[in-house]
Amino acid sequence: MRTGNGGRVDRSRRINFSFDGRAYQGCAGDTLASALLANGVHLVGRSFKYHRPRGFVAAGSEEPNALVDIDRGNGRSAPNLRATQVELYEGLVAKSQNRWPSLAFDLQALNDLAPAGLFGAGFYYKTFMSPRGAWHRLYEPFIRRVAGLGHAPKLPDPDHYSQRYAHCDVLVVGAGATGLAAALAAGETGAAVILADEQAEMGGGLLDERTASIDGLSAANWVGATLARLAAMPNVTLLPRTQAFGYYAQNFLGLAEKLTEHLAAPDKSQPRERLWKVRARQVLLATGAIERPLVFPDNDRPGVMLASAARTFANRYGVRPGERAVVFVADDTGYGAALDLHAAGTEIAVIADLRTAPSGPGFEAASGTGLRIMPATVVTGVSGNLRVSGVTLGSLAADGTVRGGEKIVCDLVLMAGGWTPAVHLFSQSRGKLAYDSERQIYLPGTYAQAAQSAGACNGTFELAQAIAEGHAAGAVAVGTPGTRSFAVTGAIAPAGGFHGAVPHDRNPEQVKAFVDFQNDVTAKDIKLAVREGMHSIEHIKRYTTTGMATDQGKTSNMNGLAIASAALDKPIPDIGLTTFRPPFTPVTFGTLAGHSRGALLDPVRQTPMHGWAAANGAKFEDVGQWKRAWYFPKPGEDMHAAVNRECRAARSAAGLFDATTLGKIEIVGPDAAEFMERLYTNPWHKLGIGRCRYGLMLNEAGFVMDDGVIGRLAADSFHVTTTTGGATRVLAHMEDYLQTEFPELKVWLTSTTEQWAVIAIQGPKAREIIAPLVEGIDLAAETMPHMSVREGSICGVPTRLFRVSFTGELGFEINVPADHGRAVWEAVHEAGVPHGLTPYGTETMHVLRAEKGYIIVGQETDGTVTPSDLGLDWAIGKAKKDFVGKRSLKRPDLVKTDRKHLVGLLTADPKVVLEEGAQITVEASPATGTPALGHVTSSYWSETLGRSIAMALVAGGKGRMGATLHVPMPDGGIAVTVTEPVFFDKEGGRINA
Amino acid sequence: MPDLTRSRLTPLSSLPPAVPGVSYSAAPAIARLLYRGSDGAVAAGAAFGVALPTQPCSSAIAGDRATLWLGPDEWLLLAPEYETLAVQQAIAAALPGIAHAVVDISHRQVGLRLDGPRAAAVLNAGVPLDLSLKAFPVGMVTRTIFEKAEIILWRTGPVAFRVEVWRSFAPYVMAIMAVA
Amino acid sequence: MLLIRCPYCEMERPELEFRYGGEAHVVRAAEPETIGDEAWGQFLYLRSNPKGLHAERWRHTNGCGRFFNCLRDTVTDRIFVTYKAGEPRPELAS
Ligand SMILES: [Zn+2]
């Protein structure tokens, strides 16, 4: 219920929201958790395995139970959000999870009554073992139904997410008292400081203080004043709502900032979340501590919560989480919570202290206020199913036995089990934790990186000391050590604490005392795991699932260790500590993906002529990152018809093709020819200036890695082309050899792929069409034969004009500076239309080249194919002493005669087009398990030949010319005849026209 | 025959919208020549009119020309567009018998300018480098990455940068800047 | 993401700008034709793959473009030193 005044909410601004379909009102400044509690709602979830009713345990990111699904509609939804971190906004729609059919009446709660052991430790391993076939049929669907927490959104996420790299001198994680002081000390020196905090409002635990003052200001006012000073420093970046979730090598941290989650109507142009990738010279961890629950029977009833959480709800949000409370303490801060609740109007029925002789300022103050205190008293049971209705107390004897005692009516039970330093990020940084056996806590020990911890996460619990430590650490981080003291009054520091299972007098087989609320692990489960032979905490964790998943053991870790320690009769440090994994709290996939989704998943590269192709109806295909025109259908044409028409045009008149995406490398320097000699199989020294040659590139193992036409522009200059997909790889391969194997060569390599737009014109009329546009180049066949290159101009634009062909036709490739590509393309097109010039795409290009038996690296090759396998022995410079891959060509495996060879395949039925990738066998219907002789690498309908053609890699193929083989398919084997892989114009007359 | 020397199309036709703190502009067409080779670097700089800096990741400017260090034997030379040929000839003449390479890459990439106090933050949406003035002072230049695209990043002023990017990657880079 | 000092740029740069290049100091024979099948096969395919200190090649691909070498501990990922291609493997003071 809402208190009359106080707290940081604005009672005058009412906020409407709904939970499980019911309408409620909260206040501006509420979280979903505080707003629900203000409406008296405690029941917010069902537990993971047993479907037990659950309420709020905590008030922050350590909340294990209150996971909700927030849905804004249209795909804007998120599951598994902690209600304690969800800021309330007008119209918020929240749903509970893991219940069916409803939260108050959950049929699966019968799991809770299941025979002991069914859902106990190791239940995954024991229950779902046999019969084998039952897994898919029964067990998996069952587990998915009952064990799921939230549901992943089904619609695409319409929001966008941003990322930013940031560098700073000091990254301070946590903006509580310690972090604020640290940021102040570092910021005052002018250093670049980033201060990140997971909460909406900075200040941490100080925002929960009712009585504390710092340097004469109330805690809240000190926070306000300090934040104002930090905000005024241009060198300080404040990041609220920002979770430092991962700490990686060399002080690299991941921070997830929520930008619009708290807004009722987010501006859709704004990113929803931002991933900060921070590199910090120094990291300052001020991550505080997490209060431990006490492990007693039925400690999971809605209305049982951490004392610190109740305090937060009361002091910060102005909400009384109950009207009559039993406070179960093992630590002095529990008394502070009791006093704060008392001040907020909650009746404190009793403070049960597990310790025999409580002491401390909290205890003194509570005594002085007249609150009823019972030392050496434990809670042995909680009544009430959907909400606490009372507790049973027991008195704890010196020998550890418990004798039944008083029943007390209450609607709220607070647990104050002591505090566990939040060392998660320190542990992620590969720092070594040290065990403080006196206080039974793990603390930062040996640092692996340039980092410091300060305040409660460092075991410094007392407020004045923590602030001073934070300030000193901030000063050290920027290299100006110094100390300052802070005058603090009215704060109650942790003192005391308890680990493990609280003794009780009930039948241990019949009670559930929870250690890990999120994973539904009880004290009994851990003891059982130990009995069943799990002696390392790593095994216990996996067997019981304690400390796993999104919770990462925030509230359960130390209690779990202590119970295992007692069961094993070994000290806590001897049973080990599981590794804390990132993320500290869940991070959405959207945040991690950042810009890399939808249209920005990967760069989409377009050629200068792309716009023309798009305007002329081209269909595009993806080739690596490039969009390439695939075919240009006319109205009513399908792909087949369009490709046939394009092929006919190229063979009978001329075709126009965008070849810009081919990789291009300019190789310049006095040793250019020698370099070419070493990197390609062919000879280059004697290639004339202005002439071209087909170049074949091998890797060192002797396998074909790329090919392309290479023109010699000058004695010391070559224009190399590569495959589209190989451009980057080939240049890297060349640089590797040049820099590391042949550094003595005076030659330099420059990618010119994007310098040139390349317009290929192929067909008998190609020369006729471009002749009127070209200046300074004699195109006549005798002066510019096939495989030559000239420099001149076209339409006034400088060009490198290649006479080359990948179609078997007379052809040119017009290279012009890329800005001019579109205009020149249009001019050539316009000049060619009267001659029948037809634009064609990559599909027609593939057909035309296959008719000529020209290979495509990556289609006819797969990284295990040699030049000889492809029938390209002619491209090997036999007289060359060395080239990359040459030695390997003589390796025994590479000279075997039964290697797979490239052959042509003609189907017996000319209308049948084989499937690429289909296997090839001798028999039409081979027995199952018969090894294939090879596979079809390329297969097309050849309009020119009026039949299908195919290329294939076939074992011993060169010796099988004329043989009949088969391509087995589901509806029967297809008979094929093995041929040479050249189907059209074998004499090559057309290309030299 | 059409004269198409003035018919040009660059991928910078649609720039990211200006937002408070950063504005974008397309650098005009320019001559970009990649100079390679160590032996002749001093003479090449003299012929070009701007020394080729030897300090890694630095640049030099004189008049309407600039030289940008990209690697230990690699510099990007920028000059007015119409001087491409003259520069090539001047360097060739100044380096008789000295091994080097000059390659025209004027059209390979485009120049995008960012101006304003938020420019560094926008760039850091994709650039993993520390862009504080201390770590990346005015005049510093380097190849780096912007998300999945390679760029050359050159700081031309305290809040001014020039990004050189291969032309087909420009739309990708600008689209990310627009939502950064 | 590691920071790697490029010996040519003379500064630490983020790992994203680099490409890994395998074991360093694996030298291609000046006259491969003189190498026997066994030894050539080892040159092609066998690498030391140590647990601990490893001399390896990196390239500042999206930076100065240079290949260089690096001594890295394969267990901790700690990089002890980077040095230019062609320079001998440095001795580490123990
Ligand atoms: Zn470098």
DSSP state of B64: T
Q: Which member of C10, C11, C16 has the closest CB to residue B145?
A: C16
SS (H, E, C) chain C: CCEEEECCCCEEEEHHHCEEEEECCCCCCCCHHHCCHHHHHHHHHCCCCCCCEEEEEEECCCCCCCEEEEEEECCCCCEEEEEECCCCCCCCCC
User: Which residue among B56, B74, B145 sits closest to C62, beta carbon to beta carbon?
Assistant: B145
Token reading at A223: 């926070």
- Average pLDDT along chain A: 94
Q: What is the ipTM of this complex?
A: 0.98
How does pLDDT run across C17-40, given as a tens digit for each residue? Answer: 999 999 999 999 999 999 999 999
Task: List the alpha helices (DSSP H) in A704-856.
Answer: 727-736, 766-770, 821-832, 842-851
Q: How far apart are CA A917 and CA A926, in angstroms?
A: 17
From the CA of A466, how far away is ligand 1's center (Å)?
44
pLDDT in tens, A838-866: 999 999 999 999 999 999 999 999 999 99
Q: Looking at residue A792, what is its pLDDT? A: 97
Write the CATH number for C58. Answer: 3.30.2270.10
How far does the CA of residue B6 sit from the closest CA of chain C (Å)?
Answer: 33
pLDDT at residue A158 above 80? yes
The SS3 call for residue B96 is coil
The CA-to-CA distance between both ends of chain B, in Å, stands at 46
Q: Residues A889, A699: contact at Cβ < 8 Å?
A: no
**Which H or E run contains A935?**
strand A934-942
**A109-118, A518-527, A702-711, B61-70: which has the minimum mean pLDDT?**
A109-118
Provide the token pair at B156: 């031309």
Q: Looking at A150-154, A238-242, A681-685, which range is the least confident one?
A: A150-154
Q: Residues near A827 by Cβ (< 8 Å), separated by ≥ 6?
A: A773, A794, A795, B2, B4
The SS3 assignment for A967 reads: strand
User: Radius of gyration over alpha carbons of chain B, in Å?
Assistant: 17
pLDDT (average), residues A16-31: 97
- Name A566's Cβ contacts closer than 8 Å, sequence gap at least 6: A500, A501
Mean pLDDT of all residues in C36-59: 97
Q: Is the pLDDT of residue A603 over 90?
A: yes
Q: Compute the distance from residue B15 Cα to the ligand 1 centre, in Å.
A: 30
Give pLDDT, residue A219: 97
**Residue A238, C-beta contacts closer than 8 angstroms, at least 6 positions apart:** A175, A195, A202, A227, A230, A231
In contact, A388 and A304? CB cutoff 8 Å = yes
Are the C-beta atoms of A372 and A347 separated by less than 8 Å? no
Could you tell me the CA-to-CA distances from A204 to A198, A316, A523, A679 in Å, in that order?
9, 11, 31, 64
On the 0-12 / 13-18 / 19+ scale of CB atoms within 10 A, A955 is: middle
DSSP strands (E only) in A632-716: 654-658, 663-668, 692-698, 704-714
Mean pLDDT, rounded, for A69-97 = 93
Domain positions in chain B: 18-28+108-179, 30-104
CB contact under 8 A, A746 and B37: yes
Q: Which among C14, C31, C65 has the least Cβ separation from residue A735?
A: C65
CA dihedral over A941, A943, A948, A950, signed as positive or negative:
negative
- Which H or E run contains A612? helix A610-615
What pTM did the predictor assign?
0.94
How is residue A337 written in tokens?
A: 């919570």
Rounded Cα gap, residues B107 and A57, in angstroms: 63
**Contact flag C64-B129 (C-beta cutoff 8 Å):** no
Does the residue C34 lie in any domain? no
Identity of the residue in B4, B100, B172 whose CB atom sits nearest the CB atom of A797 = B4
Closest listed residue to residue A322, CA positions, set A95, A94, A55, A6: A55
- In the predicted model, is pLDDT for residue B56 greater than 80? yes
| Percentage of residues in chain A having pLDDT higher than 90 | 86
What is the per-residue pLDDT for B102? Answer: 98
Residue B180 has pLDDT above 90, yes or no: no
pLDDT higher than 70, residue A151: yes
All domains in chain A, ordered by first residue: 10-108 (3.10.20.440), 114-146 (no CATH), 162-289+421-481 (3.50.50.60), 293-417+495-507 (3.50.50.60), 513-587 (1.10.10.1100), 662-752+865-884 (3.30.70.1400), 895-993 (2.40.30.110)
Rounded mean pLDDT of A583-597? 93
A941-959 average pLDDT score: 97
Give the pLDDT score at A148: 52
Please tell me which residue of chain C has the smallest CA distance to B73.
C64
* Percent of chain A at pLDDT exceeding 70: 95
Task: Please say whether the beta carbons of A422 and A287 come within 8 A.
Answer: yes
The pLDDT assigned to A134 comes to 63
Q: How far apart are CA B52 and CA B141, in angstroms?
A: 13
- DSSP secondary-structure letter at A100? S
The whole domain housing C80 covers: 1-25+50-94
Architecture (CATH level 2) of domain B30-104? 2-Layer Sandwich (3.30)
How many angstroms separate the CA atoms of A972 and C10, rounded?
66
Give a yes or no: residue C87 inside a domain.
yes
Give the residue from A177, A178, A170, A219 showing the smallest Cα distance to A195.
A170
Domain assignment of residue C71, yes or no = yes
Domain count, chain C: 1
pLDDT higher than threshold 80 for residue A644: yes
- pLDDT grade for A537, boundaries at 50, 70 and 90: confident
pLDDT bucket at A553, cuts 50 / 70 / 90:
confident
Cα-only R_g, chain A: 38
* Chain C residues with beta carbon closer than 8 angstroms to that of A701: 44
So what's the pLDDT on residue A542?
86
Rounded to an integer, the average pLDDT of A670-692 is 97
**pLDDT of the residue at A269:** 84
Q: Tell me whether residues A823 and B9 touch, CB distance under 8 A.
A: yes
Inform me whether the pLDDT recorded for A610 exceeds 70.
Answer: yes
Report whether pLDDT(A536) > 70. yes
Query: What local confidence, expressed as pLDDT, does residue B4 receive?
Result: 86
Q: Closest chain A residue to B33 measured between Cα atoms?
A: A750
Tell me the one-letter amino acid at A840.
Y
**In-domain check, residue C36:** no
Q: Is the Cβ pair B101, A668 closer than 8 Å?
A: yes
Is pLDDT above 90 for A109? Answer: no
* Structural domain includes residue C37: no
**pLDDT for the residue numbered A551:** 78
pLDDT-wise least confident of A260-274, A336-350, A883-897 = A260-274
Asked if B133 reaches chain A (Cβ–Cβ under 8 Å), the answer is no
CA dihedral B39, B44, B46, B51 (to 10 degrees): -80
Instruction: Tell me if A70 sits within 8 A of A93, measured CB to CB.
Output: yes
Output the pLDDT for position A231.
98
Q: Give the tens place of pLDDT for each residue, C63-83.
A: 999 999 999 999 989 999 999
CA atoms of A431 and A285, how far apart (whole Å): 12
Region of A534 on the Ramachandran plot (φ > 0 left; ψ -120 to 50 alpha; else beta): beta
Residue B53 and residue B31: Cα distance in Å, rounded?
19
Asked if pLDDT for residue A145 goes beyond 60, the answer is: no
pLDDT confidence of residue A124: 59
Confidence of residue A102 (pLDDT cuts 50, 70, 90): confident
Q: What is the mean pLDDT of chain B?
A: 96
**Inter-chain contact B169–A603, Cβ cutoff 8 Å?**
yes
CATH code, residues B18-28+108-179 = 3.30.1360.120
Q: What is the mean pLDDT of residues A683-703?
A: 98
Q: Looking at residue A125, what is its pLDDT? A: 59
> What per-residue confidence (pLDDT) applies to A143?
56
Residue A122 has pLDDT above 70, yes or no: no
Q: Is the pLDDT of residue A146 over 60?
A: no
Bigger pLDDT: A129 vs A223 = A223
Averaged over A638-646, what is the pLDDT? 98
Check pLDDT > 80 for residue A620. Answer: yes
Our CA-based measurement puts residue B75 at a distance from the nearest CA of chain C, in whole angstroms, of 10
